[in-house]
Structure 1
Amino acid sequence: MKAYSSARDEFEGEAEVFLDANENALGSAASGHFNRYPDPHHKALKERWSALKGVGQERIFFGNGSDEPIDLLIRLFCEPGKDYIITLPPTYGMYKVSASINAVENKLVPLTPDFELDMPALTSAWDEHAKLLFLCSPNNPSGNLLRRQDMHELIKSFPGIVVVDEAYIDFSPEASWIDELEKYPNLVVLQTLSKAWGMAGIRVGVAMGDPYVIAMLEKIKPPYNLSLANQQLALEAMANHEKQKNHVQTLLAEREKLIHALEGVEQVRKIVPSAANFLLVEFDRADELFHFMIERGVIVRNRTRELHCEGCLRVTVGTSAENQRFLTLVNDFYA
């Protein structure tokens, strides 16, 4: 296919008068200068991200959150009614939703009860129509890292593209899989500004992979998939890398305090080891506790109906005061 050619694709450099894109030359109804279309190729973002992550700009794709590259990868590689993706429940729900929207089968190969890869089941689950394998590590909703050696084996043996979703990697003690991109041309790594960077409201995600795959994503994306405001705010966030690192360290310290406090609650049956900014915790009477929290203005995520998550609530690590409020309600509920 021939990609859409925007007005900004046909011009590079400096100009005084822009009469090419049917923009409003009088300015914006809102405050700020948003009457011109944004850079469709995100050149400034890619330059900044490349410097931060040590990844070549030709390997970087920016999308509207991680959800956009997930959707685009399915559209790029899967023929509806013929090909399929593989996901490992319990995991992030948008893989399955995007497959459904694109009329692509989602074959489920569950994680083991301790949220590890079921290697025998996985390696017997695919044929030539398996085009995408999604590995979420640290996993959502469990928070644990998948075994790295198992992931190496899967990337080597899977016949299609292996997508490693690293939304929570900044909270993890392990290195990112972006260090393996040159070794594995069938590897795509997803990251986001929503979590550690604290920019969930602007919806900016990143896919990194083989330059050919990235070029194909650029070809099929909407021309202006990231607004000018979002690009500006993302650049501002990336310029404050020290602030991001400080936030991560604070949240990790709060996570350990939260774990220590929950270990002292008799009705807590299990806390899944976490490499993310949340904990999956198994409670006695979890449903009742969940509604007790809601009635008092504290919202956690009820995961008790997810596979292997019976009786579990997913608790985001908040501020010190927020965490204390949560713990006070836990103790009040079981008093």
Structure 2
Amino acid sequence: MFDINNILRENIKNLTPYSSARDEFQGEASVYLDANENAFGSPLDEAYNRYPDPLQYNVKKRLSEIKGLPIRNIFLGNGSDEAIDILFRSFCNPGVDNVIIVPPTYGMYQVSANINDIALKRVNLTAEYQLNLEGIAEAIDKNTKIIFICSPNNPTGNSINREDVETLLANFNGLVVVDEAYINFSRQKSFIQELTEYANLVVLQTLSKAWGLAGLRVGMAFASEEIIEVMNKVKPPYNINEASQQLALKALQNVDQVNEWIKETLAQRDKLVLALKNFDFVLDIYPSDANFILVKTTDPKAIYNFLVERGIIVRDRSKVELCEGSLRITIGTPEENNILIKSLQDYK
């Protein structure tokens, strides 16, 4: 049975969070003399002299409407990377605890583990890019606090079998973090709908991909109220700046536009796959539920360098376990995809 107190760090249990001026007063006033701000304004067209809402209420309210979740189950971070780091700092004791990742997967889990001095256990995906449940079960010990699963997975693009994730959620007494950065492009439904079923589930999403807001750095974590309370206690007081909050809120009114881009991206993905299959140097194209494809080639380094010379940048993933010989290609606009294909026609 999962109990948050069994995995929460003792210093975090006893932590008194920083109390900002905006935490102590909530509401509207005519004169603010509490936060040592510049009362005269900003040297910009728009004033940013006041500190932002530390809990981003308006953005969360809109996300609550879109996701069908209470505000108390939503955490906002400076990108999903901040949420990942806060999970390490809240639940993993440096030099003692460990987490499990399932390579090939998103690289920040390993980087964040290393920064926080948390041991990393690697249980590679199967040849079909699915979870090795037996291997994960063998890797778990009394100090294993978190299992990270990226679905749809980066860099392979496929979704992880839902039943396998549910097996972990039901049998592991630590946190299972399902990173859904690419869920908007997937045929699978989000694990957000399972939050009421599993107290140890954390779902990560982002506004960087389908929503086209990578430059604003707004990531989301969805979890039980008690997990969100811990994350809010540990985070910096003003972790999402005012400009990002305002622009994110404005963007979140345009759901129809984003849905149109998603449809176009999926259509372009299908067209790109068909075009790439015509090249002799393309050995395989793996099924994708994301806005990118993983393409196995005869000589990834040579193809990568060939494209770089023509001003086209893809990602060489050939040195990543189980991705040998592969390039990761993001789905671009129709014009960008055509430039890619026409350039590859000149590759010998």
TM-score class, shorter-chain normalisation, is: over 0.9
Is 1:193 the counterpart of 2:213 in the alignment?
Answer: no
Q: What is the CA–CA distance in structure 2 between the aligned matches of 1:132 and 1:55, rounded to whole Å?
A: 23
Separation in 1 of the partners of 2:286 and 2:28? 54
Residue identity in the other structure for 1:204: V
Within a 5 Å distance, the mapping from 1:172-251 to structure 2 comes to 172-251=186-265
Report what 1:163 is aligned to.
Answer: 177
Task: Please say if residues 83 and 130 of structure 1, whose CA atoms lie closer than 8 Å, have aligned partners that are also in contact.
Answer: yes
Q: Percent same amino acid at aligned positions? A: 50
Q: Provide the rounded CA distance (Å) in 2 between the counterparts of 1:141 and 1:307.
A: 11
CA distance in 1, matches of 2:70, 2:269: 33
Q: Offset of 1:266 from its aligned partner?
A: 2.0
TM-score, structure 2 normalization: 0.95
1:31 CA drift (Å): 2.3
Deviation track 1:126-173 (CA, whole Å, cap 9, x = no partner) reads 012100000000000000001111111011111200000000000001
Contact residue 128 and residue 159 of structure 1 kept, 8 A: no
Aligned counterparts of 2:56 and 2:28: Cα–Cα separation in 1: 17
What is the CA–CA distance in structure 2 between the aligned matches of 1:206 and 1:330, rounded to whole Å? 37
* Post-superposition offset of 1:245: 0.5
- Segments of 5+ residues of structure 2 without an aligned counterpart are 1-14
Deviations 1:225-279 (A, max 9, x none): 0000000111011011111101100101000000111122222111010000000
Encode CA deviations 1:170-208: one digit per residue, 9 max, x unaligned.
000110000000000000000000000000000000000
> Which of residues 286, 289, 294 is equivalent to 1:275?
289
What is the alpha-carbon distance in structure 2 between the residues aligned to residue 238 and residue 175 of structure 1? Answer: 20
- 1:115: how far off? 1.0
Question: Is residue 2:59 matched to residue 1:45?
Answer: yes
Deviant stretches of 4+, over 2 Å: none
Contact 1:303–1:311 (CA under 8 A) maintained in structure 2: yes
Q: What is the TM-score normalised by the length of structure 1?
A: 0.99
Aligned residues: 334
Aligned-partner Cα distance in 1 for 2:98–2:84: 14
- For 2:288, give the aligned amino acid: S
When structure 1 is superposed on structure 2, of 185-194 and 4-13 the one drifting more is 4-13
Which secondary structure does the structure 1 equivalent of 2:100 belong to? strand
Unaligned runs of 5+ residues in structure 1 are none
Q: Is 1:128 aligned to 2:160, yes or no?
A: no
Query: Match of 1:281, SS?
Result: strand
Match of 1:299 in 2: 313
Match 2:35 to one of 4, 21, 24: 21
Q: CA deviation at 1:13?
A: 1.9
Query: Equivalents in 2 of 1:305, 1:328: separation in Å?
Result: 26
2:336 aligns to what SS in structure 1?
helix
Question: How well do the aligned residues superpose, as a CA RMSD in angstroms?
Answer: 0.7
**Which whole-Å CA distance do the structure 1 matches of 2:47 and 2:195 have between them?**
38
Q: Residues 3-152 of structure 1: matches in 2 within 5 Å? A: 3-152=17-166
Give runs of aligned pairs for residues 295-334 of structure 1, distance below 5 A.
295-334=309-348
Q: Distance in 2 between matches of 1:303 and 1:190?
A: 23
Letter in 2 for 1:319: T
Deviations 1:83-130 (A, max 9, x none): 111001110000000011111111111111221111111111101210
AA of the residue aligned to 1:27:
G
Distance in 1 (alpha carbons) for counterparts of 2:277 and 2:171: 40
